[in-house]
């Protein structure tokens, strides 16, 4: 059966598809490799990590969409962006001794998050086997259309420099470079003004 890159709302029933897709999408991501340095266990850890983020946070407080090979989590202006304590505990358990690095990274990024009302692209990823088939672009267009309809700008943080031109194609500009503490990777804060 051919895969469709038409965005659709993501539900809890989609959890296995989404967590597996995102685990594969982020396997080569510098920040995920920093959080999960063991090659042998990274994919299983990432599946647990994305399952927890999706089921404990974004499916309840975000705008989650998927295609057959990609997923995106957005946070609308005014929505709850901080996970519940139970979700934070689950993430700490998954991260193990890397949990302090995660906490420091989240706190660093939070200090640089724009204060004006905006939408945030929390994460977007496509299965590497489907890259180039328009899955990520379709999800990005869908979320940007919703932010534009609300008349609000969009903020994201890219942890992979090679993704910056992709986001620039959709109107984002680099606002700030954020080196993470503890010899962590760099995040690029990117901003896009709303379009009519």
Q: pLDDT by residue (tens digit) across 88-121?
A: 999 999 999 999 999 999 999 999 999 999 999 9
The answer on pLDDT for 154 being more than 80 is yes
Residue 79 · residue 60 · CB < 8 Å: no
Domains and CATH numbers, the chain: 8-192 (3.40.630.30)
Residue 1's pLDDT band (boundaries 50, 70, 90)? low
- Is residue 133 predicted with pLDDT exceeding 90? yes
Place of tokens 């905006």: 118
Rounded to whole angstroms, what are the CA distances from 111 to 79, 86, 180?
Answer: 18, 23, 12
φ/ψ (deg, to 5) at 10: -95, 135
Q: Measuring CA to CA, how many Å separate 26 from each of 60, 151, 186?
A: 22, 30, 15
- Measure the CA–CA gap between 103 and 159, rounded to whole angstroms: 16
**pLDDT bucket at 2, cuts 50 / 70 / 90:** low
Q: Rounded to whole angstroms, how far apart are CA atoms 136 and 163?
A: 11
CB atoms within 10 A of CB 75: 19
Residue 185: per-residue pLDDT: 95
pLDDT at 175 over 60: yes
Q: What is the CA radius of gyration of the chain?
A: 16
Please, what is the average pLDDT of the chain?
A: 95
pLDDT at position 101, please? Answer: 92
């Amino acid at each position: 059966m051919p895969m469709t890159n038409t965005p659709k709302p993501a539900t809890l029933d989609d959890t296995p598809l989404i967590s597996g897709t995102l685990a594969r999408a982020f396997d080569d991501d510098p920040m995920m490799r920093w959080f999960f340095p063991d090659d042998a266990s990274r994919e299983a850890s990432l599946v647990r990590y994305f399952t927890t983020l999706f089921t404990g946070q974004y499916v309840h407080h975000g705008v989650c969409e998927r295609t057959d090979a990609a997923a995106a989590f957005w946070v609308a202006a005014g929505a709850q962006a901080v996970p519940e304590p139970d979700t934070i505990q689950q993430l700490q358990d998954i991260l193990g001794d890397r949990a302090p690095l995660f906490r420091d990274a989240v706190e660093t990024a939070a200090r640089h998050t724009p204060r004006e009302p905006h939408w945030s692209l929390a994460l977007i990823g496509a299965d590497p086997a489907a890259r180039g088939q328009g899955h990520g672009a379709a999800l990005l267009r869908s979320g940007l259309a919703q932010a534009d309809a609300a008349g609000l700008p969009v903020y994201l943080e890219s942890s992979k420099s090679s993704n910056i031109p992709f986001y620039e194609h959709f109107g984002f500009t680099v606002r700030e470079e954020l080196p993470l503490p503890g010899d962590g990777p760099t995040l690029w804060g990117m901003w896009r003004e709303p379009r009519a």
